[in-house]
Structure 1
Amino acid sequence: MEPAETMVGYRSAMASTALCLLVVSSSVLVTTAAAAGARPPAMFVFGDSTLDVGNNNYLSGPDVPRANKPYYGIDFPGSVSTGRFSNGYNIADYLAKSLGFPWSPPPYLSLAPSSGRLVQAAVAGGVSYASGGAGILDSTNAGNNIPLSKQVQYFKTTKSQMVAKLGSRAANLLLTKSVFLFSVGSNDLFVFAVAEQNKSAAGQQRDAAALYASLISGYSAAVRDLHALGASKFAVINVGLLGCVPAARLHDASGACSGALNQLASGFDDVLASMFSSLASRLPGFAYSLADYYGLSEATFADPRAVGYTDIAGACCGGGRLGAEAPCLPNATVCADRDRHAFWDAVHPSQRGAMLTAQNFYDSRPGRYTAPFNFKELAQTSL
C-alpha cells in the first residue's frame, strides 16, 4: 500500500465535516468546531519517531529511517505498515483518540502537493509534521529527517494556506483552540552520547551544558515562532529513560540501563521545564502541559507487572541479544505476546506502551505525570 493510501480512512472519516466547514462563513467555522464539546478543532504534531505517522515515507535517501515494511503495523487495522514506528498505533494516535479524533492527523508530506487537501486536513483535525530521527538541532541526523525548525516552516506554510482559504480571523481562532503536541530531543541526546563516549567525565559535563543551551535555544525559538503564528496550547512530552531502551542496554554485559544516558536525559528535562515556565510568564495567551515521560517510565520499570509487562528490557521485533542487535525487518523475530513487552523494537515503545503513556498524560491527576495540568484540562482551557 502506498503511503498516501494509508490515510484514506482518516480523510474519509473527516471529509464531510471538512467540506461543510469550508463552505460556511469563517465565523461559523470556528464557532461550530469549538462548540463540539471538549474536543479541540485540531491537533498539530511536532517531533520525532514516537509521533511520526508516515512523513519519512516521503523522504528520499537510503539512510532515512522508515517504518513502511513488516513487521511494523502488524497490529494496525489491516496489518498495514503506515510509517509508524510501532506494531500498531503510536502515542500521537492515542492522544488524538483521547481528544476525540479517529487517530493522529495525517503526515504533512502526504498533503503538501495539494493546498486544498492540506487545508481540509488542518480544519478537519490537524496535520502531523513529526519525523523519525528528527532533532531540535538541524545537525542531528542531518539530511535524513525533517528537523524541528523545518517542521515549524511547514506549519507556517499550512497557516498561510489556511488564511488564503478561510481568512485570517477564522484561521487564528481555530489555531488558538487547537492543541500543539511536541515530543522531541531524544535523538539529539543519542547523537551527543555517541560522539562523547571517549571523552573524560569533566569534558562530557562541560559539553552537556553547552548542548542543553543549544537545545533550549532551538526549542524555545520553535515554540515562540508557533505562538506568533497563533498557537496557544502546547502539550509537551519530555525525554524518557533513554538509557533503558534495548539499544542502550546492549552496551552493558548484564543488560542494565545506561546511567549516564539517563542522567543526560534528566538534565535536559530539568532545563525544559524551566524553559516552559519562563515562556508561560512572558507570552500572552500561552498555556502548556508538560508530561513527564521520564517519571512515568521510572514508575513503570520499577513495577512492570503492575501494568502487565513481563519484558521491559528486550525488543519484541528484532534479532540477537535483547532483540536489539538486528533491526525490525520482514526477516526479524517477532514475539507473540506483544502487549506484554514495553518495547516494540530497539528504541520505540510497543502499541500498548503508547496507549498507557497517552492515558497517563491525558487524564491522570495533575502533578503526578503532568504539570501544571493534564492534557485534557489543557484542551478544555479557555484563553
Structure 2
Amino acid sequence: MANFSCFFLFFLVLYFANSYSKAQSVPAIYVFGDSLVDVGNNKHLPLSLLRADLPHNGVDYPGGKPTGRFSNGKNSADFLAEKLGLTTAPPYLSQPNDVFVKGVNFASGGAGIFNATNEDVIKQTIPLPIQLGYFSLVHQRLVKQLGTASAQEHLSKSLFPVVIGSNDLINFSKSKNTPQQFVNLMVSSLKEVLKGLHGLGARKFLVVGTSPIGCAPKQRFQSTTNECNAEVNSLSKNYNQGLQSDNPTTYGFNETKAACCGLGKLKARVPCTPVSEYCSNRSNHVFWDIYHPTQTTAHTFIDILFSDSREYVTPVTIQQLIAI
C-alpha cells in the first residue's frame, strides 16, 4: 500500500432528499471530527494533553504563530472552506453561546467515534457523540433566531463534513472485541450520529474514510525497519473498503515516511513540541508530525476532493452534492 494514500481517501457523499431541487450554494459548514480538522477547540480544554497551541505548529500559518491546528499551517477544514468561498468555521469552544449561522467546527484532537477513545490518556477531548450534543444546542439557537422553516432550509443547504475514526482504530488493542466486531461497532455508532444530525436538519454529508494510519511516522517508529503497521492498516481497510493506494511522487512529495517536526528516528520518537526540530522543505513532506499532514498535503487533499473524480468520491461528486 502506497504511503501517500494515508491522506488521499474515499469520500462518502450522502444526501437526504428534501423539497429543494434547483442548484444551491453552501451557506455554512458544520465540521465534526478529530485533529485532522480541529481548528482550535482543544486549546480551550484546560486539562487536555493533546494540544497544538505551542510552536512549531503554525509556522506557516499567516502570522507564523500556533493556532491550535495540528499542522505547520492550514488544515483541511480551512481549504474546504476556501473552495466553497467561505471563511473557516470557528472552533465551537471559542464562543459556545454563538448562533453560528455561517458554520462552526466541533472537531477535537484525539476524539473518536466512541466516548471512551483516548479518555484514559488524553484526559480531555470532545468525542463525536458530545459534538452531536453541541450541535443540538446550536440547532436550538438557529431555530430561535431564524424560525423553524428558515433554519431547516439553511441547514439543508449547508455541508456537514465528518472526519473521524483514526483514533478509535489506533486504540483497538484495548478492546475486547474481534477486529471485525470492533469495525462493525464503529460503523453502527457512526450511523447513529449521522441519524442524529439528520434529525436536526442536516442533509448533505461528506464522510471521510479513515486512512491506513499504520503508515504514519508514529506507527512506523515501532518497527526496526520503518515498515507500516500491518495490523492497524488492516483495520483501516476493513473500515473503509473503498480506500485505494496512490503514488506520492505524482504530487511532488519526496518524503513519505518521516515527520517534518519531531525528534529521533523518523522524527517520531518525540512529537512536535517547542524543543523539536522541524524541516525547512515542508512542502515535500506528507507528514507534519507523528500523525498529521503538512499544510501542502491538506491542500492537495482538498484539491483532489474537488477534482470531480469518482476515483475518490462516491456516490456523487462534491460539485453534484453542492448543486442538489
How far 1:177 moved relative to its partner?
Answer: 0.4
1:43 corresponding residue in structure 2: 29
How far 1:247 moved relative to its partner?
Answer: 0.4
SS in 2 for 1:309: coil
Describe how 1:59-138 pairs up with structure 2 within 5 A: 59-61=45-47, 63-102=48-87, 104-112=88-96, 114=97, 118-119=98-99, 122-123=100-101, 125-138=102-115
Residues in 2 aligned to 1:249 and 1:169: alpha-carbon distance in whole angstroms = 51
Find out whether 1:332 has 2:276 as its counterpart: yes
Residues in 2 aligned to 1:304 and 1:219: alpha-carbon distance in whole angstroms = 30
Find out whether 1:267 has 2:245 as its counterpart: no
2:149 corresponding residue in structure 1: 169
Find out whether 1:354 has 2:291 as its counterpart: no
Residues in 2 aligned to 1:213 and 1:242: alpha-carbon distance in whole angstroms = 18
| CA deviation map 1:16-43 (0-9, x unaligned) | xxxxxxxxxxxxxxx9xx99x8640101
2:218 corresponding residue in structure 1: 247
- Give the conservation status (yes or no) of the 8 Å contact 1:39–1:100: no
| CA deviation map 1:324-357 (0-9, x unaligned) | 0001011111100000000000000100110111
Residues in 2 aligned to 1:342 and 1:224: alpha-carbon distance in whole angstroms = 34
Alignment CA distance shift 1:305-1:363 (3 Å): closer
Bigger Rg, which one: 1
* 1:344 aligned partner, one-letter code: W
| CA deviation map 1:189-225 (0-9, x unaligned) | 00114x37xxxxxxx9x61122122212210110001
How far 1:148 moved relative to its partner?
Answer: 0.2
Of 143-152 and 370-379, the range deviating more from structure 2? 370-379
* 1:320 aligned partner, one-letter code: G
| CA deviation map 1:44-77 (0-9, x unaligned) | 000000000001111121x431100111000000
Residues in 2 aligned to 1:38 and 1:99: alpha-carbon distance in whole angstroms = 12
Describe how 1:196-345 pairs up with structure 2 within 5 A: 207-270=178-241, 294-295=243-244, 298-299=245-246, 303-345=247-289
2:40 corresponding residue in structure 1: 54
SS in 1 for 2:149: helix
Residues in 2 aligned to 1:375 and 1:49: alpha-carbon distance in whole angstroms = 22
Select 2:126's aligned residue among 146, 149, 162: 146
How far 1:254 moved relative to its partner?
Answer: 1.3
Using the size of structure 1 for normalisation, the TM-score is 0.76
SS in 2 for 1:44: strand
Find out whether 1:178 has 2:164 as its counterpart: no
2:137 corresponding residue in structure 1: 157
Residues in 1 aligned to 2:74 and 2:266: alpha-carbon distance in whole angstroms = 23
Alignment CA distance shift 1:165-1:228 (3 Å): same
Alignment CA distance shift 1:161-1:169 (3 Å): same
SS in 2 for 1:78: coil
Which one has more relative contact order, counting CA pairs under 8 Å at least 6 apart? 2
User: More helix per residue: 1 or 2?
Assistant: 1
* 2:112 aligned partner, one-letter code: G
1:285 corresponding residue in structure 2: none
Of 333-342 and 259-268, the range deviating more from structure 2? 259-268
Residues in 1 aligned to 2:43 and 2:306: alpha-carbon distance in whole angstroms = 29
Residues in 2 aligned to 1:376 and 1:313: alpha-carbon distance in whole angstroms = 33
* Structure 1 alignment gaps of length 5 or more: 1-30, 197-203, 271-291
Residues in 1 aligned to 2:277 and 2:303: alpha-carbon distance in whole angstroms = 29
Residues in 2 aligned to 1:218 and 1:371: alpha-carbon distance in whole angstroms = 21
* 2:142 aligned partner, one-letter code: M
2:17 corresponding residue in structure 1: none
SS in 2 for 1:46: strand
Residues in 1 aligned to 2:231 and 2:67: alpha-carbon distance in whole angstroms = 34
How far 1:179 moved relative to its partner?
Answer: 0.3
* 2:137 aligned partner, one-letter code: T
Using the size of structure 2 for normalisation, the TM-score is 0.89
Residues in 2 aligned to 1:312 and 1:73: alpha-carbon distance in whole angstroms = 21
Q: Aligned Cα RMSD in Å?
A: 1.8
* 1:355 aligned partner, one-letter code: H
- Give the conservation status (yes or no) of the 8 Å contact 1:44–1:178: yes
* 1:336 aligned partner, one-letter code: S
- Give the conservation status (yes or no) of the 8 Å contact 1:318–1:332: yes
* Structure 2 alignment gaps of length 5 or more: 1-19
User: How many equivalent residue pairs?
Assistant: 302
Residues in 2 aligned to 1:360 and 1:377: alpha-carbon distance in whole angstroms = 15
**Identity over aligned pairs, percent:** 37
- Give the conservation status (yes or no) of the 8 Å contact 1:51–1:183: yes
